[in-house]
Amino acid sequence: MEWAVGALAVLVLLLAELYRRALRETSMLANFALLVLLDGKAYAVQRQGLVDLVRSLEPTNALQLSARVSASLSRLAARQNATKLGIAGLLWRLKNETRAAVL
């Protein structure tokens, strides 16, 4: 019976870690999407990078291409995660620009 409790505890810890990882990755991808949407230069650079990546890959089908691009995007979002404060600044600037346009 103790082994069942131990196995259940390990399973709960594993699921908790997977959940934390999913939340972290979702947050990083959301921050990356905000960066691309709020900064025109970042959009142009990332769009060209995507075009270059897709053209450089040699997948056997569309599903494999999609998986490789998704993995690359996750790595890129993780590297860009340090810009979280910059994204907050871009959002604040957008809010103030909107407020100034209304006044």
What are the pLDDT digits (tens) for 29-55? 998 999 889 888 989 999 999 999 999
Long-range contacts of the stretch 19-27 (C-beta < 8 A, 24+)? 25/74, 25/77, 25/78
Instruction: Please give the pLDDT value at position 103.
Output: 60
90 has pLDDT over 90: no
Q: Up-side HSE of residue 49: CA atoms within 13 Å toward CB? A: 11
64 has pLDDT over 90: yes
Domain boundaries, the chain: 2-102
pTM above 0.85, yes or no: no
Going from the C-alpha of 62 to that of each of 17, 57, 90, 98, the distances in angstroms are 31, 11, 35, 40
